[in-house]
Amino acid sequence: MTATTVEPVVATPPPAGHRHANRRRRRTIVAVVVGMAVLIVFALIFLYPFVIQVAGSFKSQPDAAAHPLSPIPRPPTIGSSFDKLFNGSTDFPLWTFNSVVVTLFVTGGRLLLDSLAGYALARLRFPGRGALFAGVIAVMAVPGVVLMIPKFLVLNQLGIYDTYGAMILPLLADAGGVFIMKQFFETIPTSIEEAARIDGAGTFRLYWSVVLPMARPALITLTILAFQGSWNELTNMLVAVQSPTLYTLPRGLADLVTGSLGAGTQYPLKLSAALLATIPVGIVFIAFQRYFVRGANEGGVKG
């Protein structure tokens, strides 16, 4: 309704039109330039810390302290802090090994279990299915940090405290992943499965060789969420193990900062360790960007 009353004001009278158009064009140019400047400032805010991190890893301790903002190490002490990480003054190689083991098992396990359960909830009919799905939704709402002491109690009771099992099994419980897989399977048309049924395929065969190959996009999303989640996981590792031989990268880095090695401010060493721990996720992120975008929109949000 208001449109009709406002319109004459916007449509400027013809004589002044030319000047107005000019001014408007100038204004849009200014807007674009200002907009671009704002964007670049924000891009710097979001990216420059990583520049500081990379540069810091290659600086000497005095240089890092004196020029914390500079992107250029002077003189470049190529690899001296990386050297320290690997020559035995830290357990960095061991942490990396443990992280790789945990991440592989958690990612593989989640892919299998989540897709199995997701398929059952989406396609198979069995008594209790509705209740089961409601349970999965309810469990998704439990805040994770609240579970730290509770998880320790259970791991202790089960007798698997301080083992690889304690690091991996709790992370396999992944209601969010089950939910993502269920939602995805429901978008696949049933006709292909029905055709395979008629050809006499059993349920597992059907799932394995017909449904799973079609679920590639969802499986990639799930892989990324699981990889990133377990690679970066700290709290579960804190309550699951205590032996330094079972530390993963986040736990090891935490020890490097807060523990005995934290004595003194060896920032180049810490920064290079943090940098190396970030690189795998960084590579996966750049390679599979669009899947990350999807993952973030399907509920894989960390606090």
Partner 1 sequence: MASVSTPPVVGGGSAATSAAAARRPRRPLGRRRGRYPGEATAGWLFSAPAVVLLIVFLLVPILMALWVSLTGWTGQGSPFAGGVPFAGGTNYAQLLVRPGLEREDFMTSIRNTLYYVLLVVPLQTGLALFLAMVVNQRRLMGRTFFRTAFYFPSVTSSVAISILFLFMFTGTGAINTLLGFVGIRGPSWFNDSDGLLHLILGGLHIVDPNSPPGALANHGLLGLSWWEWLSGPSVAMCAIIMLVVWTTSGTFMLIFLAALQDLPMDVEESSILDGANVWQRLWHVTLPQLRPQVFLVITLGLIGSWQVFDQIFIISQGGPDKTTLSPAYLSYTTGFGDQQYPAGAAMSFVLFAIIVVMTLVQRFLLRDKDDGRERRAERRLRRSMRREGTA
When asked if residue 148 is in the footprint of partner 1 (CB under 8 A), the reply is yes
Among residues 162, 163, 203, 208, which is the contact residue for partner 1, using CB under 8 A?
203
CB closer to partner 1 out of 46 and 260: 46
When asked if residue 292 is in the footprint of partner 1 (CB under 8 A), the reply is yes
When asked if residue 249 is in the footprint of partner 1 (CB under 8 A), the reply is yes
91 neighbors 247 (Cβ within 8 angstroms): yes
Q: How far apart are CA 253 and CA 234, in angstroms?
A: 10
Q: Rounded to whole angstroms, what are the CA distances from 156 to 48, 106, 141, 142?
A: 43, 20, 25, 21
The dihedral through the CA atoms of 226, 229, 234, 236 has a sign that is: negative
Q: Rounded to whole angstroms, what are the CA distances from 252 to 80, 85, 102, 233, 274?
A: 19, 11, 14, 12, 10
Among residues 13, 88, 157, 260, which is the contact residue for partner 1, using CB under 8 A?
157
Question: Which residues inside 56-95 make contact with partner 1, applying CB under 8 A?
Answer: 56, 64-65, 68-69
When asked if residue 167 is in the footprint of partner 1 (CB under 8 A), the reply is no
Binding mask 1-40 for partner 1 (x = CB under 8 A): -xx--xx-xx---------------------x--xx-xx-
CB closer to partner 1 out of 83 and 186: 186
Q: How far apart are CA 143 and CA 88, in angstroms?
A: 38
Question: Which residues inside 111-130 make contact with partner 1, applying CB under 8 A?
Answer: 113-114, 116-117, 119-121, 124-130
Among residues 161, 164, 208, 267, which is the contact residue for partner 1, using CB under 8 A?
267
Residues 6 or more apart whose CB falls under 8 angstroms from that of 277 comprise 99, 249, 250, 253
Provide the minimum distance between the beta carbon of 228 and partner 1 in the complex, in angstroms, as a whole number: 6
- Six-digit token pair at 60? 């000497």
Among residues 34, 37, 47, 78, which is the contact residue for partner 1, using CB under 8 A?
47
Among residues 150, 217, 244, 259, which is the contact residue for partner 1, using CB under 8 A?
150
50 neighbors 254 (Cβ within 8 angstroms): no
55 neighbors 70 (Cβ within 8 angstroms): yes
Provide the minimum distance between the beta carbon of 76 and partner 1 in the complex, in angstroms, as a whole number: 18
When asked if residue 234 is in the footprint of partner 1 (CB under 8 A), the reply is yes
Provide the minimum distance between the beta carbon of 299 and partner 1 in the complex, in angstroms, as a whole number: 9
